[in-house]
Structure 1
Amino acid sequence: MRLLACLALLLLSALPAAAAPLTIRVGYAGPAPGGTRYVPGLAGIVAAERYIEREIAGDPDLAVEWVFFKGAGPAVNEALAGGQLDFAFMGDLPSLSGRAAGLDTRIVMATNARDALYLVTTPASSIKGLSDLKGRKVAQFRGTSTHLASEGALRRAGLTSRDLQVYALDDASALAALAAGDVEAVLGKALFLTLVERGQARVAWSSKGDPRAGPSNHLLVAGAFERAHPDLVARVVKASVRAAAWASNDANREAVFALWEKSGTPAAVFRADYDGQRLAERLSPLIDDLLIDTYREKAARARDLGLVRRAVDVTGWFEPTYLNAAIRDLGLAGTWTRYGADGRPLGS
């Protein structure tokens, strides 16, 4: 019996060990409240409604891990550089900075390609627009897509951030500073409409209606992961496109805002932010000529402003193959409008 037991143990030890599940690591350039997955934008839909998890459900060899970074884009870049992430939902400037530094990534779909930028001031401020900001105390979240968009907006108004008294603050700190009157204005995203809703601030300018003026956001994949697992890249993109289709349907408008409200920002803020715009315009996942040309323009601006150390070539950075396949397989052709580099709908 002992001999048989030993032989059995030898046979078992000779069998290959079961492979550990492959964890798909997804990062988001921003914090989520209280350890939740609730953040604004398309990434918030994908995360909170577990679209990626549902895509791989039933496959015991796969798992998904989400990481939300308080340090925003720069922290995501550090994680990508350290091989700690496979995918990231993030904005244009940190991704451009990463590419300038040699990070091996591919942009596989847009998320909030035409986000809005706002100039929000204290109620008593005499600021009427961007041209009035010279010498004023203005908060700016540096190192983020908001930073790059605000620099572009200032340039079009004949200014640069050097003409302002800039306070480098993250969004939470800037909200507090504006509410307390420690700064007179903030260049930021819809989050600052929270103060407008409370009567503690007003909007002096916004980029709404100009597809090139606001921040742009996207989903990118680490090059090593794409080369090793193109099938999984296709599944993650497909899941994210499903989310984009649901979130782009104006019949779901209030449901989308209700989900985003769980991030801590009132639904009324999102209603104001998206007022007069179709969800599909803001949440389009398409990699079209307008998106690529906008990133090319922002890459040049970032270099001119010294926000990146070297010129950034966006050629070959965008990989629409997975996106286009998902749109075809899900029967979503025509859901979103494709634009040319001139900002006009193709075919019009």
Structure 2
Amino acid sequence: MKHLSRWAAAFAVALACATAAHAAPDTIRIGVATAGGGDPVTWGGSPGGVARANNWLEEEFKASGIKVEWLFFKGAGPAVNEALSNKQIDFAYQGDLPSIVGRSNGLKTKLLLVSGARNNLYLVAPVKSQVQSIKDLKGRTVSIFRGTNGHLVAINVLAANGLAERDIKGVNLDTGSAQAALVSNGVDAAFGGYEWFKVRDQGLAKVVYSTQGQDPAFTRQASLLVRSEFEQANPAEVQRVVDVFVRAAHWSSEEKNRDELFRIWARSGTPVASWAAEFDRQPLAVRNSPLADAFIVARYKAVVADALKLRLIRREVSVDDWFDTRYLKAALKKQGLEDFWTAFDAKGQPAAGASVAAK
């Protein structure tokens, strides 16, 4: 890791030189691709939710007189893309597919770090439904939240079971609408995430399929992005934001904090039991790692390929030059975390070598 240490030191010097040459922003605006919940509004499933709940970013920038604003979007990733396009936010917590769609449409962003890896996908159905497996979906009405990072995974899960999206009667519903539709028998089944455990535990739905323990290619990834224009004008502030997210990732990866982590995430309105189910038999350090390793890069490339094939995007999107891990590397060195997380290869298995992408 000596080469990484020398690189991080050089970057820190360059960053310090740049700091004196710019005026800090009055406000840092962070968009989150979920409606969230609680008071104040927060979200779970990401170390970012820990930073939010504990006001770590607000504390970081308080002495500088910089205000931190969190904006939550019921319209998820597509709504975040619109906000980025209109320069209404500076940073974005967003899933892989919508961020790729944004990039394909000309949004100039940089991926700074991962903030929620290997998120699971589930298929749920009414309790008394005859749907028992993915293959039972043929010809049935199924909710899929299109344009989100669960969309492509759902399509790939269907394909792995001999079905195409055209074999089902897909309806595009957001999370709340899908839950209402399923409970009232308006749809036969629904794809979604951890939010369905609450409905299951209320006796209103059953989980008939889970990606837990399956090929990690069937999982969803989420990252922290920054508008390129903001990053170029405010490198010092970007570094401080990344520092806080890495601190949150470290805390969220410690197994001794598992129970407290789920309690913090439960402030969003998703019960502790749901987080326990989502993370069952899964190491926190794997799910909450910030590393942009070979697995993450490979997953983003796979999503690009799938999105092109399904015509969700119209042109090729480059990935290798999208991840800008300079700030992440500097944060890891500063906090003594260069060897804390395991890097994974393209297939999701532990890999030897550099812990983060080369750039």
Given the two structures, how large is their TM-score scaled by the length of structure 2? 0.88
Q: 1:243 to 1:341 in 2, by over 3 A?
A: same
Q: Which is greater in Rg?
A: 1
Query: 1:175 maps to which residue?
Result: 179
CA contact (8 A) 1:148 1:215 kept: no
CA contact (8 A) 2:216 2:347 kept: no
Aligned: 1:164 with 2:133: no
5 Å matches for 1:116-265? 116-209=120-213, 210-265=215-270
Task: Give 1:310 shift.
Answer: 2.0
CA contact (8 A) 1:177 1:183 kept: yes
Secondary structure of the corresponding residue to residue 186 of structure 1 = strand
Query: 2:61 maps to which residue?
Result: 56
Provide the alpha-carbon RMSD of the alignment.
1.6
Match of 2:277 among 266, 272, 275: 272
Task: Give 1:296 shift.
Answer: 0.1
CA contact (8 A) 2:134 2:209 kept: yes
CA contact (8 A) 1:37 1:44 kept: no
Q: Equivalents in 2 of 1:247, 1:149: separation in Å? A: 25
Q: 1:25 to 1:195 in 2, by over 3 A?
A: same
Aligned: 1:304 with 2:301: no
CA contact (8 A) 1:90 1:218 kept: yes
Letter in structure 2 aligned against 1:29? A
Q: Equivalents in 1 of 2:210, 2:262: separation in Å? A: 20
Given the two structures, how large is their TM-score scaled by the length of structure 1? 0.91
Aligned: 1:290 with 2:295: yes
Query: 1:322 maps to which residue?
Result: 327
Query: 2:4 maps to which residue?
Result: none
Identity %: 43
Letter in structure 1 aligned against 2:69? E
Q: Equivalents in 1 of 2:25, 2:114: separation in Å? A: 29
CA contact (8 A) 1:38 1:259 kept: no
Query: 2:3 maps to which residue?
Result: none
Superposed CA deviations along residues 113-160 of structure 1, whole A, max 9, x for unmatched, are 210101111122222322221111111111111112212222222222
Letter in structure 1 aligned against 2:349? R
Letter in structure 2 aligned against 1:136? R
Task: Give 1:334 shift.
Answer: 2.9
Secondary structure of the corresponding residue to residue 42 of structure 2 = coil
Secondary structure of the corresponding residue to residue 294 of structure 1 = helix
Q: Equivalents in 1 of 2:329, 2:24: separation in Å? A: 32
Superposed CA deviations along residues 182-234 of structure 1, whole A, max 9, x for unmatched, are 21211110101112112221111111133221211000000001111111111
Q: 1:58 to 1:316 in 2, by over 3 A?
A: same
User: Where in structure 2 are there 5+ consecutive unaligned residues?
Assistant: 1-22, 354-359
User: Where in structure 1 are there 5+ consecutive unaligned residues?
Assistant: 1-18
Q: Equivalents in 2 of 1:269, 1:286: separation in Å? A: 25
